[in-house]
Structure 1
């Protein structure tokens, strides 16, 4: 690691970025590593079939959660980061975002009711779908975008971690047989709603947020600002968290269970680098406003550091696939081994695309290009899934996801190079890193 990057990271760890990163890692622990405690228990108690049923429902909820998030995790974060010193503006932006998310939540629930009536596969598990929708309501309330924009993630990180830990405890106490998958869904939804309510309370009590009513004009403005990023996020779901739902439309719940169990192991590795990307996003957003050269300079440093770490994680994932699956999932999940090996390159690919997309393309205002690229990847994933999943089952879905991620990273780099924004281009002069 170069001295410049060491200096950059050293200063960052002592600043709000460092504190924000540590807080985000506690959230990521809840999102990715607590499941490594729950999954070994769930896959054994529920069995592959009911675990797949649960995953199918969660896959559909991923689309609704994306709908209510509507890109606010990036657009609202960026706006609040710039206006953080003006409480009146932050309060107004927050009210309008909550108003927009509430409207989208109502529309999403109407869509769910229509799907239950029109799609037999969804109608069959209608009770599960309604219970899981509580997690979408929690998404509406939980103000991650607000705390991230202010770089004060500490309070809600502890809320998130505490509630998810209680879910784990409740799972061990209440989930004892395959039919209890609905109980686990209820625990998860209840925790999400309570976490959201506590997050709102902390926002007003600790941050001095003022009670402000949303306006239609403000809601529409928030939707307009987040629209492109929402479309991008929706396309991303087509080749990430929504895969279980896509596969479930073409295969039985047992196959979905094998695929989801393997994917969760890989996503846990992918998630290791996620908080760093989230924590640095506000800084890169401001840096892009000040100096293009400095943004590209630090982008290159970050690309090599994060990309290199991602490559190591990918190698570890591939090599340890068999023993990890046997230990975490059990001997009945042998088909998940090949899923893990196929997806093993994801930590590297996502690490690279995160730096190129989140830290460079979004701060430089290239959201439309991101949308077109991820939309292409989403369509590619669905097309290959339709082609491969009927014959190759879980492995076919895994290959589709891998091809989509390769497409994203390649196209991000090609676009930045063509636009003169590649972090690997040779600058005329070394920018001042200070």
Structure 2
């Protein structure tokens, strides 16, 4: 029981510090560096998120499963799994960075250095190998290294950042923070867990990529409706100040969503454990999953209500401190528009990621993720063209809403074949 609690708290700490970083750093950078430089930073970050999604591939899911199965065979088998995933991810990272750099050289040479600094985040995740520590139920070291590196990063930026900073300095420090966590985790795995790198053939890497392509296609589809709005705003030439305002609001909502991940991961395991072989998505299983989702919804509701109360008392004071730099009330308005995405996201994770993927409907879920990505990308482009940053905020919610409708369709229109 104590070990389970420690692992949950370690996951929560890791997500908490990762969520705290953008909430503290990005508003400060906007305040200090101005909207023009800041918008360049977040546009390059949006491109780097595509690289990160590609690097993570499917291994946070099937890599975790493989570690759980291999742990009973000892360090040698774990080393084989680790090495295969490490070199597969490294191959993806090199390919993506080369392609992204070439595109930047052709269309926006000034973004090359900024983008390459952001790519250090993805490289850090390769070395960090979260799937290994989660599979071994040993999340403490990653949480500790994350805490140290994120606090150091925040302190450096808050102390040294100024209006004269080059655009690549913040992503270099942030990327260095993630890389530092990754290298420390890698060394811990090597020294304490006796994990060693083994040679891996290209044919093994190719097979590994083929095995995870369906999960990756779903993950990549998610990028289309969760992480592409800033790029669309830039494409339509929206003013840098509006891009900056939307970026801060989006980071607040994503940070709130990140605080839910430890609970989601905890209930993922519990619900899957309670599933019985042969269950299918229908109204009965829908009720079964929803009955185990109330805690996450209650937690988010409490956080939102508490935030609203705090803002009621100190919001005007905060606005007066920084309103000469950017329109905080505009950011709050955008965040309010996007808030429903947090509750919708819980439903999509529990019913889609947890439910459909484990009720013999992973193919359907991958298809609806792709369909939703295309729908949101098309409708979002129109909304952003018409309403700029407000359109982007609506699109953020629309993507979660459309996905939930498509997921619910599978449950509601299947025959009831079991009784809970």
TM-score normalised per structure 2:
0.88
Deviations 1:159-197 (A, max 9, x none): 112111111111023211153442111111112222111
Mapping 1:15-414, distance limit 5 Å:
16-87=3-74, 88-119=76-107, 122-177=108-163, 179-250=165-236, 251-282=238-269, 284-285=271-272, 288=275, 292=279, 299-313=289-303, 327=318, 330-331=322-323, 332-333=326-327, 334-414=329-409
Is the 2:286–2:411 Cα contact (8 Å) retained in structure 1?
A: no
Whole-Å separation in 2 of the counterparts to 1:377 and 1:80: 31
Is the 2:372–2:402 Cα contact (8 Å) retained in structure 1?
A: yes
Please identify, of 149-158 and 333-342, the stretch whose mean Cα deviation from structure 2 is larger: 333-342
1:11 is matched with which residue?
A: none
Please identify, of 350-359 and 324-333, the stretch whose mean Cα deviation from structure 2 is larger: 324-333
Is the 1:310–1:349 Cα contact (8 Å) retained in structure 2?
A: no
Whole-Å separation in 1 of the counterparts to 2:344 and 2:316: 22
State the SS of the aligned residue for 1:85. helix
Q: 1:102 to 1:211 in 2, by over 3 A?
A: closer
1:5 is matched with which residue?
A: none
Deviations 1:128-169 (A, max 9, x none): 112222222212222011111222211111111211111111
Whole-Å separation in 2 of the counterparts to 1:419 and 1:90: 40
Whole-Å separation in 2 of the counterparts to 1:37 and 1:103: 33
Is the 1:134–1:192 Cα contact (8 Å) retained in structure 2?
A: yes
Whole-Å separation in 1 of the counterparts to 2:249 and 2:316: 7
Q: Offset at 1:19?
A: 2.3
Calculate the aligned-residue CA RMSD, in Å.
2.8
Q: 1:149 to 1:247 in 2, by over 3 A?
A: farther
State the SS of the aligned residue for 1:159. helix
Q: 1:137 to 1:281 in 2, by over 3 A?
A: same
Whole-Å separation in 1 of the counterparts to 2:371 and 2:311: 30
Q: 1:387 to 1:238 in 2, by over 3 A?
A: same
State the SS of the aligned residue for 1:140. helix
Q: Offset at 1:325?
A: 9.1
Is the 1:377–1:404 Cα contact (8 Å) retained in structure 2?
A: yes
Q: 1:326 to 1:113 in 2, by over 3 A?
A: farther
Whole-Å separation in 2 of the counterparts to 1:389 and 1:112: 24
Unaligned 5+ runs, structure 2: none
Is the 1:175–1:181 Cα contact (8 Å) retained in structure 2?
A: no
Unaligned 5+ runs, structure 1: 1-13
Is the 1:235–1:375 Cα contact (8 Å) retained in structure 2?
A: yes
Is the 1:321–1:341 Cα contact (8 Å) retained in structure 2?
A: no
Deviations 1:237-278 (A, max 9, x none): 112233322322222332211100111122222222112223
Is the 2:117–2:175 Cα contact (8 Å) retained in structure 1?
A: yes
Is the 1:102–1:140 Cα contact (8 Å) retained in structure 2?
A: yes
State the SS of the aligned residue for 1:152. coil
TM-score normalised per structure 1:
0.85
Deviations 1:285-316 (A, max 9, x none): 55557685999887343222223433454566
